[in-house]
Amino acid sequence: MKNPVPQAASLLLEKLLLLVHVRPLPAGSGGEGYYDTSCFKRGDLLEVPRTLFIHFGIYLGENRVAHLMPDILPAFTGDRRQIQQVVTNKRLILGVITKTASIRVDTVEDFAYGGSILVNHMDRLFEDQVLGSEEAARRAEKLVGATAYSLLWNNCEHFVTYCRYGAPVSFQTDKFCETVKMIIRDQRSVLASVLVGLASIVCLGLAPSTTLPTIFIPFFLWMAG
């Protein structure tokens, strides 16, 4: 059986990097007209599934999508031409570190980065909370510009759920936190067993009856965690 704790830690690190979009948008990715935007309506919530995360945006019409990305540049300049340029990894990572971001408008092609697009897929989770399409689009447009960034409290999913459902929530964040709790819980179980074993060695002396459990109990907890 594979060790789930190191695997979970590895996945946690990968998801952390991917959730903050450590992958720049390339100029002209996918090519103009790569997506059929005729099936999109103003105010639609667009999802682009990735390997370990989902990126979200609000369709504004005319091949434009509003979405939130970490970005350091808006903290230093208000020049829209500079800000609208491709977000490099350096800009993005510094944005995560300094907790700054921008809600920007890009083409569908640049937003999706060649991935498949789901439309209003989250509506099923909110039932009667769906706002009007025009209201959702107007909320997104009103928020365009510099904003604070937080992986846990203000990411791209918080942005779109506020616009379309009136409540900023992030299911990805919830899953992320559960993964963290699982790792901490498993690490504590292993640590506790090690401490008990060491205490037994100190009190009862170095012997197979005390040493072996100290070695094997943490091992099996690690394997079964």
Q: Are residues 166 and 138 in the same domain?
A: yes
For residue 104, tell me if it sits in a domain.
yes
The span from the CA of 104 to the CA of 145, in Å, is 6
Q: Are residues 100 and 153 in the same domain?
A: yes
Q: Are residues 152 and 117 in the same domain?
A: yes
In the chain, what percentage of residues exceed pLDDT 70? 62
Whether the predicted pLDDT of 188 surpasses 90: no
Whether the predicted pLDDT of 172 surpasses 60: yes
For residue 38, tell me if it sits in a domain.
no
Last residue of a domain, one of 172, 197, 213: 172
For residue 7, tell me if it sits in a domain.
no
Q: Are residues 57 and 151 in the same domain?
A: yes
Catalytic residue from among 156, 163, 177, 203: 156
- What's the pTM value of the predicted model, to 2 decimals? 0.67
Q: Are residues 212 and 110 in the same domain?
A: no
What is the mean predicted confidence (pLDDT) over 189-206? 57
For residue 28, tell me if it sits in a domain.
no
Q: Are residues 122 and 220 in the same domain?
A: no
For residue 113, tell me if it sits in a domain.
yes
| Count of domains observed in the chain | 2
139 vs 207, more confident: 139
Q: What is the pLDDT of residues 72-99, one digit of tens each?
A: 998 888 888 888 887 888 888 899 889 9
Residue 61 maps to which CATH number?
Answer: 3.90.1720.10
For residue 99, tell me if it sits in a domain.
yes
The span from the CA of 50 to the CA of 85, in Å, is 23
For residue 155, tell me if it sits in a domain.
yes
Q: Are residues 168 and 198 in the same domain?
A: no
Query: CA distances (Å), 146 to each of 53, 65, 75, in order?
Result: 23, 16, 7
Q: Are residues 163 and 197 in the same domain?
A: no
Q: Are residues 167 and 109 in the same domain?
A: yes
Range picked from 25-29, 47-51, 192-196 for highest mean pLDDT: 47-51
Is residue 177 annotated as part of the catalytic site, yes or no?
no
Report the chain's mean pLDDT, rounded to a whole number.
76
Per-position DSSP letters for 138-182, written without gaps between them: HHHHHH-EEEE-BTTTBSHHHHHHHHHHSS---HHHHHHHHHHHH
The span from the CA of 107 to the CA of 40, in Å, is 13
Sorting pLDDT into bands at 50, 70 and 90, what band is 30? very low
What is the mean predicted confidence (pLDDT) over 194-203? 58
215 vs 60, more confident: 60
Q: What is the pLDDT of residues 31-62, one digit of tens each?
A: 445 789 999 999 999 999 877 678 999 999 99
Q: What is the extent of the structural domain holding 92? A: 44-172
For residue 49, tell me if it sits in a domain.
yes
What is the mean predicted confidence (pLDDT) over 110-134? 91
Q: Give the H or E element holding residue 100.
A: strand 100-107
Q: Are residues 211 and 155 in the same domain?
A: no
Whether the predicted pLDDT of 219 surpasses 50: no
